[in-house]
Structure 1
Amino acid sequence: MDEVTEGVEKIDFHHPYTPYDVQEEFMNAAYNVLERGDGQIGILESPTGTGKSLSLICAALTWLRNHKRSRFENSVTEAAKEFKDEPDWIVNQMLKRKREEILKQWEEREARLKKIRAKEKLMEERGAKRRRLEDSNTRKHDKAVNDEDEWLLDQDDDTSQGDDNTSGFSKETRDLMGKLGLGTLHAKEEVEEDMSKNEVKIYYTSRTHSQLTQFISELRRPTFPSSLPDSLLNEDPSTDSEGIRHLPLSSRQRLCINPSVSRLGSLPAINDRCTELQQPKTKDKCQFVPNADNLGLTHQFRDNALATLPDIEDLLELGKKLQVCPYYASRTAVPGAEIITLPYPLLLQKTARDALGIELEGNVVIIDEAHNIMDAVANVYASAVSLNELRRARQMLGVYVKKFGKKLKGENRVMVAQVARVVDGLKEWLENASGLKSEQGIVDPNMLLRSKSIDQINMYKLIQYIQDSKLAYKIEGYVAQAESQASDDGAATFRSTPVLHTLLSFLVSLNNLSSEGRIFYTKVSQDDIKLSYLLLSPTHAFSSVASSARAVILAGGTMSPFEDYMAHLFPSLPENKITTVSCGHVIPSSNLCVWTLSSPGPKAVEFEFSFQKRSDKSMISQLGLAILNICTAVPDGVVVFFPSYGYLDEVVAVWGEASTGQPKSQALWDRLQAKKAVFRETKGGSSDEVLEQYTEAILGSDKGTTNKLDSASRRNGALLLSVVGGKMSEGINFSDRLGRCVVVVGLPYPNINSPDWKARIEYIESTTLERLKTSNPSMPKAETVAAAKQASRDFYENACMRAVNQSIGRAIRHRNDYAAIVLVDRRFGTERIRQKLPGWIRGGLAEGSQNQGLGQMMGKLSGFFRGKKASAAAQLS
């Protein structure tokens, strides 16, 4: 593995500000990975608050422009080789013509895009920018189609469309898209797009649309030079720079502008209705889909998208303005785009990539917020169906057959009956499993399929039929309409998770079972139980991304520990193809104080919040006293992360008890509330509401609002009790006064006795054992077994430490921020655990703190915050 000591020459990354040293280190590492190409992998860690997104943009687009410049020069050089035997004057004339042709195409494209940018800017200056989001009430009250024939299955439907059907397009639409050059079906490209064809693209993905929107706002900050080489630049200053051509991609659910489709709400229903409106037999086809009549508007959409650095809402508004479908029309902008943003599921799933026309071969993939990439891959392929959902599905089938049963002929009759049989079989198995003593367990798929003899059904053929016939959509749609008419509501509405589409997803998983997947049952409530499919390893699913792309960069604020990414995403990749970097923070070392609190004092019980010991009431009381002391020394906000919601409830209950021989008012809980306003995160509760109250308790007086809390609470700040892996531990910034101290209580190891973790551990051990036997057959069996067990232990421990590191990262959010971090558990003092903390946290650890007690920690914290207070006062004076 390359630890990036191999530098590159000094590069101007066109950063809009003066970059810090850690940003230079990060950009150089990213640039180096992209430049080397050939399947290179970069795993790059840069703490939140260090400008990671902007550094990624500057490194990637600087490299891309340099790469294009080199490609242009090479194309001219290659052209010259064809005329090597000709006189020099012929060669020179040819080269001149070639350069003029490239320059002309570039200038025409840039002139067109600049004209659009100028028009957009003028509209903004006049305040004419339209509203981005359509009023939700408009969609809610759209009238439903009342024609019941809409829900009847086609009798002569050609459902043998093969693998192409997975793209979600009807045959007619695929033919039309082929003529227009949309998606993966290529027609003759327009002349002005020739220079964009086959150019390297950057696919940037993140976890949520809000994170992508933030990235796009950062994308608007820097300016990059032209991709034209020096030999093609003329004296016109307009050729010196070149706008970034960016395109966001998303699902129909976010981009559909057809009210009769978008009102359906759920993504599966929208997808099915959209494709149905393009079938040859459909009377009222969708008028927004690109066709020969609106080709000019489609190209106008493309040019506007490439000219304006849009986000998803901008594309939606553009589609409404031009009356052309943004979902399909955005495909025409793919060839000319330099950077394409999209959420995780659209990149990680091959069927989704195929549907969007995404080709990773030879292109660059950047995955941001990549600390949860393995979970993201598993989630993309996960599926579940519950007993109550199956009961609802059976009821819906009954309603549908009662209405249309006599009209169902041939294959339709057979297949609907098979769907009913599958539902009955799964339902019967779950009803029997409800009587099992264990709350959860692994399911033998062979036993599951024997119920009602489901194993006699050709599941592949049944899945194809459900997909091609849009059976789930038709049944859901008819029942929703019938129920709405019965309730005099008048509008058919789909549930957010249509049960028949949920069943279809589970059947797909059931049909594609591999050694990497397992099926589990879990008792959800007293009267409900569910079946779920879990992908145990992301290796195979992620391999199609890693093996296709020119280079892949995994970037995140808390990527440590790195080992899992290499072992489970790229297990077969040689070390010289993997680059890892852990950057320091932009804050000075004096702005961070990290302490490991192993015990309250020399003779006191050690803090060890393992599952076996954490219920010790004495230790819980000592923890409360330690947090009470921390609240005394730390101003403003203190955030405490516990291993689980259950343990947080247990701790609060103990703190609420009166101390022996003391009145009730002296309970630790009351003493904490007297020191700071106390808030707690609850499972299933509203994190937004708790966060708003917590923020109000700390900043209320600054914002000029009337704080309902008493003056003492307002003056001393607030205490927030939260959970590692909960809503407060990711995506929420406790910057400045909101997070002057973060306390982590214990190590939040997952429940190793749960069926899913047992299956994961077993899978990692068996695959590691197999790999070691193949790669090193002479290795003694005992050593092989020990190495396999160690690999599973590392994976288990790394999952815990990634969650800890993510919680720690909530505190320091910018260069001038400062905070203390307290790790409460003796195990944080061990070298093995400390090595799995991010480098910037390890650098801030107080030397020998694990061997000292609460008294020494209080002295350190008091001195740290006194120094910050004095420094702030000195700056004001």
Structure 2
Amino acid sequence: MEEIIHQVEGIDFHHPYTPYDVQEQFMNTAYEVLQRGEGQVGILESPTGTGKSLSLICAALTWLRNHKRSKYETSVIEAAQEFKDEPDWIVDQMLKRKREEILKQWEEREARLRKIRAQEKAIEERGSKRRRLEEGNARNSKKTDNSDDDDDEWLLDEGQDKDSSQDGDDTSGFSKETRVLMNKLGLGSLKTTEENEDISDNDIKFISELRRPTFPASLPDSLLSGNSSTEPEGIKHLPLSSRQRLCINPAVSRLGSLPAINDRCTELQQSKSKDRCQFVPNADNVSLTYKFRDSALATLPDIEDLFELGKKLHVCPYYASRTAVPGAEIITLPYPLLLQKTARDALGIKLEGNVVIIDEAHNIMDAVANVYASEISLNELKRARQMLGVYVKKFGKKLKGENRVMVAQVAKVVDGLRVWLEGAAEMKSDQGIVDPNTLLRSKGIDQINMYKLIQYIQDSKLAYKIEGYVAKAESEGESDVSSTIRSTPILHGLLSFLVSLNNLSSEGRIFYHKVSKDDIKLSYLLLSPTHAFSSIASSARAVILAGGTMSPFEDYTAHLFPGLAQNKITTLSCGHVIPSSNLCVWTLSSPRPKSDTKSMEFEFSFQKRSDKSMIYELGTAILNICTVVPDGVVIFFPSYGYLDEVVSVWSEAIAGQPKTLWEKLQTKKAVLRETKGGSSDEVLAQYSEAILGENKPSSQATTNRNGALLLSVVGGKMSEGINFSDRLGRCVVVVGLPYPNIHSPEWKARIEYIESTTLERLKVTCPSTPRSEALIIAKQAARDFYENACMRAVNQSIGRAIRHRNDYAAIVLVDRRFAADRIRTKLPGWIRGGLVEGSENGGLGQMMGKLSVFFRGKKTSLNT
């Protein structure tokens, strides 16, 4: 370890600015993890506003270039070893030839990419890409001609026999050269389950960060000596995404839903298709495919760049991008494509010997669960059955052999699940765990070979064909099509649920949940990400999880890397770049000092939080905070239900008081609140306008209101991804500890799973542990997981405030439990460092004094 640390010290990370100490610490740690390799894991926390993403890029690219230089030098040394018994002049000639070959390949590639970069620089159109993409999608959504012959498009192909189901996508109609190229590009029998990704600015922000630093060439100086090129070697970055974001075929992209796009795309590649996709890479457009590859590697593209490049070259960016994978230094892709081995294989991504870096990794365990989650509701099953009926009525006489049998089996499965849910709707409990054996016995669907049925649905594109035909029939207003039938991918949802049902393991459970009086749903939940993440953890050279709020760390080591030796895990919690004087953290345990024996305590546990007197005291504390804190104050409550309850109490009239507490708050600041299912953008715009707007409404001009108060919910839309920087977040208040509902079936199942797996692990690692002691350890492990889930949500909310070096804010933690050492250790290091010592004993009066001094000092320094 000491030797590695010594190697890391003094490295030039090529940071475009003078890095802060915490950035140096972060880059050194990340580099050390990558340098050690051999299954190393780094869990790194650096607060938002500390340049974490740029530091990751600088550390990773510096290591990668150094690693490549070392490999080149090693290859030359190995070449010399082959001729160690030959005369020196022969060895010298062979080494010279080897160096020249390496240099020539490097120079040719870099010259080619430089030429493309020069061309692209002259025709940049980045500012109008989004608008063109949206206009293109609008044009693609036009209706196509509907004739009776077109109905054959939705008819199931004949010969869905064993051979076709085993072979997957049929490529027999293509030439040998095309089949070789298609296999190279990942076109063929490999199947991948892709999930829809929200289109966000994250990839664009990453690209902008990637463009800041420059790095030396990946060739060692000994090979570059005398080379006339002085231009630094460009970074080769490739973003990958789903067909939904990259498809340029209007006949496919207009379908809208990702499952339908996937099915139609693969169908248009089959030899039986009368309209093969003209954009798919093949032997005829291989030169355009390689031009796409070089352009992608030359220009640091984002997803929209690849889409536009594919349109320009008339080649599919989804498939053509795979030719760029071997030459890329950085590949970015969404969670679903990374977390599933089938998806990685289809994209040609190999983790062995490579590094996996997950930024914003605080939600990685939830992301794993979401990738493997699925659900189907009673109303959806009813619509699915109706769709099947409409389809069979149209094509029933044309269905033969296996098609007829399999469509009947799908109907039987739908009926079985529907009957079970109709029975569950009569149960007293609104939610619960489902025994899969009981579920499968409904209508005898346990007699169906589920694996074979799933394969058939995938190979035949049954879901796409049925939903496509029904959507067409509905658009034509056919009288026998119910208006309740929609073109949403219900059957694709059913397929996902059947896959989950077929792959049930000890890590997953099925639940039922009553959605409304008229609907109930089945859902599959992955209880632990361990097995799903294991293919990444065991394959990659190194894994780095980085985020602004990774604390507490224990869950990542226990559930993502449970079998990894401690000496292979490196954790780091960086401080903030702000000076300590810019942060004030106060634990408000009670309205009055602890020395006041009559003082009540703030404890917003489920059992005590409905105490009206405590809710009123909370409102009084917030009213006082709004008096001394300028501009924006954000309050985070445990749940939407509790926020409604609090507002209701604050709105009640008090004898002898001319105004309610709610009205008093509105005289201090403009009060806005987040609502479940409401528009967060609209609320945030109103909140920002109240604080930053130059032209305030006349109703505000006549008051003494100073800024705005935003009432939000931990885990809601305001608690993640929104920056309350500067005036928007001068104070963040967290009310209570937002523990999940431990009595819900999902959390009962999680707790039970953690306890049982902990006991099993103890039997293997510590077989001499007494049963009673093992039970205590298992229960504590479950308790820690439960508590950590709560604290991750708290930490994510707290992180909304301080966003850059010159920012400042106060953080108030309202609950006596925040004073417990067990809870405080789960706060990020920079928050713990800002805690006012003894604040938990001070009460509201002392807090007000501290806040007044804090903000007066900031006002004075700004005036100065």
- Give TM-score, length-normalised by structure 1: 0.93
Residue 669 of structure 2 corresponds to: 676
- Aligned counterparts, 1:370-769, within 5 A: 370-486=361-477, 497-601=488-592, 602=596, 603-663=598-658, 666-701=659-694, 705=695, 707=697, 710-711=700-701, 716-769=706-759
**8 Å CA contact 2:387, 2:485 repeated in 1:** no
Cα gap change, 1:699 to 1:502, in 2 (>3 Å): same
Answer yes or no: is 1:113 the counterpart of 2:113. Answer: yes
The one-character-per-residue Cα deviations of 1:685-712 (angstroms, maximum 9, x if unpaired) are 00000000000000001xxx55465126
Answer yes or no: is 1:322 the counterpart of 2:323. Answer: no
Distance between the aligned counterparts of 1:31 and 1:174, measured in 2? 47
**8 Å CA contact 2:384, 2:491 repeated in 1:** yes
Structure 1 residue 239, shift from structure 2 partner: 4.7
Structure 1 residue 794, shift from structure 2 partner: 0.2
Residue 33 of structure 2 corresponds to: 33
Answer yes or no: is 1:839 the counterpart of 2:814. Answer: no
AA aligned to 1:430 is L
Structure 1 residue 141, shift from structure 2 partner: 1.5
After alignment, is 4-13 or 364-373 more displaced?
A: 4-13
Distance between the aligned counterparts of 2:28 and 2:758, measured in 1? 34
Q: Residue 210 of structure 1: which of 181, 187, 201 is its match? A: 201
Distance between the aligned counterparts of 2:28 and 2:500, measured in 1? 42
- Aligned counterparts, 1:70-81, within 5 A: 70-81=70-81
**8 Å CA contact 2:467, 2:487 repeated in 1:** no
Answer yes or no: is 1:17 the counterpart of 2:7. Answer: no
Cα gap change, 1:265 to 1:605, in 2 (>3 Å): same
AA aligned to 1:64 is L
Answer yes or no: is 1:220 the counterpart of 2:211. Answer: yes
**8 Å CA contact 2:129, 2:304 repeated in 1:** no
Structure 1 residue 179, shift from structure 2 partner: 2.7
Distance between the aligned counterparts of 1:500 and 1:240, measured in 2? 54
Distance between the aligned counterparts of 1:517 and 1:247, measured in 2? 34
Distance between the aligned counterparts of 1:321 and 1:125, measured in 2? 13
SS of the residue corresponding to residue 124 of structure 1 reads coil
**8 Å CA contact 1:607, 1:619 repeated in 2:** yes
SS of the residue corresponding to residue 238 of structure 1 reads coil
Structure 1 residue 234, shift from structure 2 partner: 2.8
Distance between the aligned counterparts of 2:486 and 2:109, measured in 1? 45
The one-character-per-residue Cα deviations of 1:717-739 (angstroms, maximum 9, x if unpaired) are 00000000000000000000000
Residue 196 of structure 1 corresponds to: none
Cα gap change, 1:832 to 1:206, in 2 (>3 Å): farther
Residue 178 of structure 1 corresponds to: 180
Aligned length: 845
The one-character-per-residue Cα deviations of 1:90-134 (angstroms, maximum 9, x if unpaired) are 100110111011111111100110011111112239999896514
Residue 201 of structure 1 corresponds to: none
AA aligned to 1:143 is T
Answer yes or no: is 1:140 the counterpart of 2:135. Answer: no
Q: Residue 356 of structure 2: which of 353, 365, 369 is its match? A: 365
Distance between the aligned counterparts of 2:413 and 2:537, measured in 1? 37
Residue 297 of structure 2 corresponds to: 306
Structure 1 residue 211, shift from structure 2 partner: 1.7
The one-character-per-residue Cα deviations of 1:611-648 (angstroms, maximum 9, x if unpaired) are 00000000000000000000001000000000000000
Structure 1 residue 217, shift from structure 2 partner: 1.4
The one-character-per-residue Cα deviations of 1:400-450 (angstroms, maximum 9, x if unpaired) are 000000111111111000000000000000011011111100000011011
The one-character-per-residue Cα deviations of 1:478-498 (angstroms, maximum 9, x if unpaired) are 00000001179xxx9996840
Cα gap change, 1:299 to 1:822, in 2 (>3 Å): same
Residue 334 of structure 1 corresponds to: 325
Cα gap change, 1:794 to 1:694, in 2 (>3 Å): same
Cα gap change, 1:564 to 1:496, in 2 (>3 Å): farther
SS of the residue corresponding to residue 682 of structure 1 reads coil
SS of the residue corresponding to residue 544 of structure 1 reads helix
SS of the residue corresponding to residue 544 of structure 2 reads strand
Q: Residue 243 of structure 1: which of 234, 237, 243 is its match? A: 234
SS of the residue corresponding to residue 133 of structure 1 reads helix
After alignment, is 238-247 or 422-431 more displaced?
A: 238-247
Show structure 1 runs of 5+ residues with no match: 187-204
| Alignment RMSD (CA, Å) | 2.3
Residue 794 of structure 1 corresponds to: 784
The one-character-per-residue Cα deviations of 1:650-686 (angstroms, maximum 9, x if unpaired) are 00000000113334xx111000001000000000000
Distance between the aligned counterparts of 2:792 and 2:487, measured in 1? 32
Q: Residue 157 of structure 2: which of 154, 159, 173 is its match? A: 154
Distance between the aligned counterparts of 1:800 and 1:456, measured in 2? 43
**8 Å CA contact 1:696, 1:707 repeated in 2:** no
Distance between the aligned counterparts of 1:302 and 1:272, measured in 2? 25
Structure 1 residue 243, shift from structure 2 partner: 0.1
AA aligned to 2:713 is V
Q: Residue 772 of structure 1: which of 752, 756, 762 is its match? A: 762
The one-character-per-residue Cα deviations of 1:336-386 (angstroms, maximum 9, x if unpaired) are 111000011110112211221211111100011111100000000000000
Distance between the aligned counterparts of 1:60 and 1:496, measured in 2? 45
**8 Å CA contact 2:161, 2:402 repeated in 1:** no
SS of the residue corresponding to residue 749 of structure 2 reads helix
AA aligned to 1:680 is R
Distance between the aligned counterparts of 2:7 and 2:665, measured in 1? 52
Structure 1 residue 241, shift from structure 2 partner: 1.5
After alignment, is 8-17 or 785-794 more displaced?
A: 8-17
Cα gap change, 1:144 to 1:21, in 2 (>3 Å): farther
Structure 1 residue 213, shift from structure 2 partner: 2.2
**8 Å CA contact 1:206, 1:369 repeated in 2:** no
Distance between the aligned counterparts of 1:268 and 1:464, measured in 2? 15
**8 Å CA contact 1:700, 1:707 repeated in 2:** no
Residue 49 of structure 1 corresponds to: 49
Residue 193 of structure 2 corresponds to: none
Show structure 2 runs of 5+ residues with no match: 189-195
**8 Å CA contact 1:132, 1:316 repeated in 2:** no
Cα gap change, 1:726 to 1:363, in 2 (>3 Å): same
Structure 1 residue 212, shift from structure 2 partner: 2.3
AA aligned to 1:472 is A
Identity %, equivalent residues: 79
The one-character-per-residue Cα deviations of 1:518-554 (angstroms, maximum 9, x if unpaired) are 0000000110000000000000000000000000000
Cα gap change, 1:759 to 1:463, in 2 (>3 Å): same
- Give TM-score, length-normalised by structure 2: 0.95
Cα gap change, 1:169 to 1:651, in 2 (>3 Å): farther
SS of the residue corresponding to residue 624 of structure 2 reads helix
